A = this chain, B = another copy of it.
């Protein structure tokens, strides 16, 4: 499932390139002779799980279909500082034009993959899965989710249209867990699993008795998760439990051991600090 839709990638990259290139790279047009060939190297500035190589390659290929990237590592691989990630060969003006967009992608997607990987390792052996959320950078969801997969995480629903999650905000409007779950079950339950946020044992019992498939425990302390998991398991062997909210590398294992099947971590995208990657160009 570690895939990137090529058509969608291609069209995103064109948007990113248009943003940066506008009407063209006036510096290179002024000082670089046309048809000068060059090579460039992407070098890791720190330890990281690499993500975004396919995207970086697409940046240059979008500018010139003859550009060639030779990768020395694969997306998803963990590397040390100093490692040469890939080598580009192509026209100098193409390398200069694509440099910043390619770097921005590599730096930010590797950050997501690396951070995800740290969470995944923190829960190793517990059986819990680390999953992303819709807390993504606007416009970057496809790529950021891809980076989560590369880091060893799993994906939650892509958008509001391919999964049901009844949050506390829905409950404030829809009037109680029982009705909300019942309606969701009846109207889209033949198609979708019903996930519902519960914040008390009463809610939890109502959710399960009305047919919820998954429970979301949001922002609860570990002990409460332990307790509610026990209640749940008494009632059903198939209902799944997800935790989220204020989960850190420090406390994530405790949640996993408390019985969470999935742990959703918004920080995967929004707290991932860009990795250091550089791009050095040389003539032939």
Binding site for B on A (CB under 8 A): 1, 3, 5, 8, 12, 15-16, 19-32, 34, 36, 38, 40, 92, 95-97, 99-101, 103-105, 107-108, 129, 131, 134-142, 154-166, 169-170, 172-174, 179-180, 183-184, 187-188, 190-193, 214, 240, 261-262, 270-271, 273-274, 279-283
Q: Which residues of B contact A214 (CB under 8 A)?
A: 190
Q: State whether A28 touches B170 (Cβ < 8 A).
A: yes
29 contacts between A and B (CB under 8 A): A1-B187, A15-B139, A19-B142, A20-B134, A22-B160, A23-B158, A25-B161, A26-B160, A26-B161, A26-B188, A26-B192, A27-B164, A29-B188, A30-B164, A30-B183, A31-B174, A31-B187, A38-B173, A40-B169, A96-B169, A100-B160, A104-B138, A131-B190, A135-B274, A139-B140, A161-B162, A169-B280, A190-B214, A271-B274
Q: Which residues of B contact A179 (CB under 8 A)?
A: 31
- What is the bound-complex CA distance between A5 and B62, given in angstroms? 13
**Interface of A, helix, strand, loop or mixed by DSSP:** mixed
Least distance between A152 CB and chain B CB atoms (Å): 14
Least distance between A118 CB and chain B CB atoms (Å): 16
> Please, which residue of chain B has its CB at the minimum distance from the CB of A36?
B173
Least distance between A81 CB and chain B CB atoms (Å): 15
Query: How many copies of this chain does the complex contain?
Result: 6
Q: Which residues of B contact A270 (CB under 8 A)?
A: 104, 107-108, 273-274
> Please, which residue of chain B has its CB at the minimum distance from the CB of A261?
B190
Contact of A166 among B15, B23, B27 (CB under 8 A): B27
Contact of A34 among B3, B15, B174 (CB under 8 A): B3
> Please, which residue of chain B has its CB at the minimum distance from the CB of A135?
B104
Interface centre among A140, A170, A283 (most CB of B within 10 A): A170
